[in-house]
């Protein structure tokens, strides 16, 4: 959405939003009997070209509430009548400038990208084309900050579209090509390693998952952002994202009501790409490396079978106990390669990894676990700022023992009790591939793709994690 500025309301603005705290209504707009300013209260007055938004009591206002309130106002205006929406900026909003902007910008999205004709036009027409900030009391540096937020939100929308997109369009090659396009303007480099390279470098875990995909090759995507300055000379921060384009579950086939939405299983990889698109805009000072293993998990005569043994990049042998525990396999090679090659200070992986995390935490929290308490706490804090919430899950030593193999070094699922602490055991498996790197694992299975979105989200792909990691990287 375009952002512009005006000292006062003008005739080119289709409608203006006026936020009010409870019982602080100005008579020039509306009789206080009609609008009290209670939290979430909305009064649309088309004849005056205004929308009044209630913020509730000033001392009760919280960050997440602000984002939701302004998102509610924008959604009320997404009906095709208002292309240019104004917001009267009052000084109290300065304390919540990020939340206000995100609330206005994040909902301006639709999922109907593959409709045609009048239906597509109708969906596009509902989008607001321009946001006009009205007033002169803006805080110092506001315009640059607004540009940054707008860029981040564009990346969130981008990730939503990729995660929701059909796998016959959003293929392995599509994602690799998207990374190359983004690199041209995003100030980072991209290397795409193909199946021949994967075989040469003995990435047996990725290749094992890919084995049933016929002529649909696997790839390893490496992105690298190298800013100038002293901070960039430190060991890099590495982001690793699961890029499972579609997951049938393999021979442990997913049932109906679970398999239909498995195009979203590459949300971790899409999020990493989304973050890389904004690093230059945000002026992130640290070197950042992104590693995304890309493949599908399909079934044919060559597909991996339960009881197969794969050899990962770091030489560890893995008993395949469940072909639907494939995400941890492709991440194993990606993590091991990334840690050995780039020697990062911090490693953060994101993956729609386990249904167990959805059962444990639902669709409002993602799980986080790892081997460095400070890193985990910093990620949790970033999630609180962005309302992309994280909840720490345990990595008990017994979970690590459970992932040890009987005839091989490791197994990708334990026997008999794999349904217990499933998210933590998946994390415990991944820990065998991070060596001594400070590491955190984000299980975003419940938050990356939802049926009942928050008011500022879209149904299906949410873009979860882009804002959280942007917040983390800006402050580190």
CATH number at residue 126: 3.40.220.10
Do residues 117 and 187 both lie within one domain? no
- Which alpha helices (DSSP H) does 304-364 contain, by range? 327-342, 355-361
Do residues 240 and 378 both lie within one domain? yes
| pLDDT at residue 28, as a whole number | 72
| pLDDT at residue 304, as a whole number | 98
Is residue 111 domain-resident?
A: yes
Is residue 140 domain-resident?
A: no
| pLDDT at residue 27, as a whole number | 67
| pLDDT at residue 136, as a whole number | 82
Do residues 124 and 195 both lie within one domain? no
Do residues 76 and 18 both lie within one domain? yes
Is residue 96 domain-resident?
A: yes
Domain boundary among 105, 135, 165: 135
Do residues 253 and 208 both lie within one domain? yes
Do residues 445 and 298 both lie within one domain? yes
Percentages (nearest 5) of helix, strand, coil residues in the chain: 40, 20, 40
| pLDDT at residue 365, as a whole number | 98
Tell me how many domains the chain contains. Answer: 2
**CATH assignment of the domain containing 315:** 3.40.630.10
Angle formed by the axes of helices 466-475 and 267-276, to 10°?
Answer: 40
Is residue 278 domain-resident?
A: yes
| Closest alpha carbon to 476 in 329, 374, 323 | 374
Q: Which residues of the chain have pLDDT under 70?
A: 27
254 is catalytic: yes
Q: Which residues pair with 389 in a beta bridge?
A: 365
Do residues 121 and 172 both lie within one domain? no
Rg for the chain (alpha carbons), in Å?
Answer: 24
* Active-site residue, selected from the candidate residues 202, 216, 254, 343: 254
Is residue 141 domain-resident?
A: no
| pLDDT at residue 418, as a whole number | 87
151 is catalytic: no
Q: Spell out the residues 6+ positions from residue 346 whose beta carbon is closer than 8 angstroms to its own.
A: 237, 238, 372, 375, 437, 438, 439, 440, 476
Do residues 111 and 157 both lie within one domain? no
Q: What is the rounded end-to-end Cα distance, in angstroms, of the chain? A: 29
Do residues 189 and 125 both lie within one domain? no
Dist. CA 273–CA 156, nearest whole Å: 10
* Active-site residue, selected from the candidate residues 316, 328, 454, 467: 328
Do residues 113 and 158 both lie within one domain? no
Residue 307 phi, psi (nearest 5): 95, -10
Domain boundary among 135, 163, 187: 135
Is residue 349 domain-resident?
A: yes
Is residue 416 domain-resident?
A: yes
Residue 67: both structure tokens together: 């984002």
Dist. CA 278–CA 151, nearest whole Å: 7
Q: How far is CA 53 from the centre of its chain?
A: 29
Dist. CA 191–CA 413, nearest whole Å: 32
Domain boundary among 88, 107, 135: 135
Dist. CA 250–CA 296, nearest whole Å: 10
Between the alpha carbon of residue 151 and those of residues 1, 103, 378, the distances in Å are: 9, 14, 23
> Which residue segment(s) compose the domain that 322 sits in?
153-475
Angle formed by the axes of helices 373-386 and 466-475, to 10°?
Answer: 120
Whose tokens are 């009320």? That residue is 76
> Does the global pTM surpass 0.75?
yes
Do residues 157 and 129 both lie within one domain? no
Long-range contacts of 39-47 (CB under 8 A, 24+ apart): 39/65, 39/69, 40/69, 40/72, 42/72, 42/73, 42/76, 44/76, 46/15
Do residues 304 and 425 both lie within one domain? yes
Is residue 59 domain-resident?
A: yes
């Amino acid at each position: 959405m375009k952002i512009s500025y005006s000292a006062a309301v003008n005739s080119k603005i289709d409608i203006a939003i006026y936020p009010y705290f409870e019982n602080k209504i100005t008579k020039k707009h509306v009789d206080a009997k009609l609008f009290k300013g209670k939290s979430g209260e909305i009064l649309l007055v088309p004849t005056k070209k205004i929308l009044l938004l209630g913020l509730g009591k000033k001392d009760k206002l919280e960050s997440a509430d602000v984002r939701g309130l302004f998102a509610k106002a924008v959604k009320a205006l997404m009906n095709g009548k208002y292309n240019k929406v104004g917001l009267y900026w009052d000084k109290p909003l300065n304390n919540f400038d990020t939340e206000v902007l995100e609330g206005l910008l994040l909902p301006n999205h639709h999922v109907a990208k593959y409709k045609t004709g009048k239906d597509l036009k109708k969906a596009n027409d509902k989008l607001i084309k321009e946001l006009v900030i009205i007033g002169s009391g803006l805080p110092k540096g506001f315009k640059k900050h607004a540009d940054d937020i707008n860029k981040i939100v564009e990346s969130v929308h981008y990730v939503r579209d990729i995660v929701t997109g059909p796998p016959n369009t959003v293929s392995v090659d599509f994602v690799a090509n998207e990374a190359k396009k983004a690199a041209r303007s995003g100030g980072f480099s991209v290397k795409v390693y193909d199946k021949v390279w994967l075989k040469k470098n003995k990435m047996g875990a990725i290749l094992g998952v890919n084995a049933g995909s016929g002529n649909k090759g696997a790839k390893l995507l490496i992105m690298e952002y190298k800013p100038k300055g002293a901070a960039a000379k430190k060991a890099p921060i590495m982001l690793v994202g699961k890029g499972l384009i579609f997951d049938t579950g393999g021979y442990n086939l997913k049932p109906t009501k679970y398999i239909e939405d498995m195009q979203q299983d590459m949300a971790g990889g899409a999020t990493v790409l989304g973050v890389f698109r904004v690093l230059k805009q945000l002026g992130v000072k640290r070197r950042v490396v992104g590693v995304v293993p890309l493949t599908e998990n399909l079934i044919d005569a060559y597909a991996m079978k339960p009881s197969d043994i794969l050899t990962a990049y770091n030489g560890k042998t893995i008993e395949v106990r469940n072909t639907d525990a494939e995400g941890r396999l492709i991440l194993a090679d990606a993590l091991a390669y990334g840690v050995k090659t780039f020697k990062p200070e911090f490693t953060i992986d994101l993956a729609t990894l386990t249904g167990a995390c959805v059962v444990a935490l639902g669709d409002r929290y993602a799980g986080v676990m790892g081997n460095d308490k400070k890193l985990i706490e910093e990620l949790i804090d970033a999630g609180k700022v962005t309302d992309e919430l994280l909840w720490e899950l345990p990595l008990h030593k017994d979970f690590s023992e459970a992932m040890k193999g009987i005839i091989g070094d490791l197994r990708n699922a334990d026997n008999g009790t794999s349904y217990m602490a499933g998210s933590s055991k998946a994390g415990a498996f991944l820990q065998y591939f991070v060596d001594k790197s400070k590491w955190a694992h984000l299980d975003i299975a419940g938050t990356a793709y939802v049926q009942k979105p928050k008011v500022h989200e879209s149904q299906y792909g949410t873009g979860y994690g882009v804002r959280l990691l942007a917040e983390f990287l800006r402050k580190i």
